[in-house]
Amino acid sequence: MDGRDMSRFRRVSFSRAPCPRPARRPIGVGWGLGSIRALRRPRPPVSLSPRAPAFRGRPFGSSVIPGYSTRIQEVAVHGDVWKLRVLSDRQQFADPDGHAADAGTSSAQWPLFGQLWASGEQLAHAMHDHDVAGKRILELGCGIGLASLVLQRRGADVVASDVHPLAEPFLAYNAALNGLPALHYRRVDWTRHLPTLGRFDLVIASDVMYEPGQAELLADAIAGYADDEAEAVVVDPGRGPGAHLPRALAAHGFVPLRASGEARMRTRSFRRERVAA
């Protein structure tokens, strides 16, 4: 001790009184009927796949891909009304992963896949009546893929393809939106042949030639995936590069069959002739 007088200090003790615990309210007392049903209802499993809703036959959200504004467009093909999720306009661009930069695609070209073009509608009408029995069909540069959807509903064996990384989720969403199972889709770069894709009896495309040299690229792709006696159907809105397609296909043994439509929107059919041994 330090020698100070401690007698004037009083010792005080404290104790904690027991605190009564509030009575637990039974489940259901003061709860709405919806809350009780929610407890009894089993929770669905959580899916880790970001594209899962598009493949389950049920549309989801207001946008297929985050960062893009979309809308529902209705179009009639021979009396059948199709609902398609498309980009709201041609200004939609979001490329956080750098796919556009890697592909050398400008922001103006990037959203073109997400629109329903007149040529795509015309190809869909052509496929509604085309003979597809027993044929394996490939659509090149499908974009929104209305023609492939029409073929899917007809029960055809069709593979949709595009190089755009967003074409697949849009196609799957639109299949589900129209009550169809997910289409067989493959990402196809015309400059890189995929042997595992196999050969096809019919190859189709619409409005896929924008720049010089693309007619030759398309012809090479068609020839690479077409069987020996295959047919090709191409819809072109009359752009300059499309004029070179007949000659480019002729180099691979294709001969013109018929052409329909106006000069600014022609549907051309070609057949590959077997070369005699």
Q: What is the pLDDT of residue 65?
A: 67
277 residues of the chain, pLDDT tens digit each: 455 555 554 554 555 555 554 444 443 333 333 333 333 344 333 332 333 333 333 333 444 567 788 999 999 999 999 999 999 887 777 776 777 677 667 777 788 888 999 999 999 999 999 999 999 999 999 999 999 999 999 999 999 999 998 899 999 999 999 999 999 999 999 999 999 999 999 999 999 998 899 999 999 999 999 999 999 999 999 888 999 999 999 999 999 998 886 667 889 999 998 755 4
| Alpha-carbon distances, residue 197 vs 14, 185, 200, 206 (angstroms) | 84, 10, 9, 20
Q: What is the pLDDT of residue 15?
A: 53
Q: How many CB atoms lie within 10 A of CB 79?
A: 6
Rg (CA), the chain: 31
Round to whole Å and give the CA distance between 112 and 92.
9
* 12, two tokens: 């005080």
Q: What is the pLDDT of residue 64?
A: 52
Burial of 167 (0-12, 13-18, 19+ CB in 10 A): buried
Residue matched to tokens 């191409």: 234
Domain parsing of the chain, residue ranges: 68-272
Kindly report the backbone phi and psi dihedral angles of residue 218, in degrees, each rounded to the nearest multiple of 5, phi listed first.
-65, -45
Output the DSSP codes for 139-153: ESS-TT-HHHHHHHH
Q: What is the pLDDT of residue 92?
A: 79
Q: What is the pLDDT of residue 176?
A: 96
Round to whole Å and give the CA distance between 276 and 274.
6
Chain center to CA of 71: 14
Q: What is the pLDDT of residue 69?
A: 87
Superfamily of domain 68-272: Vaccinia Virus protein VP39 (3.40.50.150)
pTM of the model: 0.74
Q: What is the pLDDT of residue 104?
A: 66
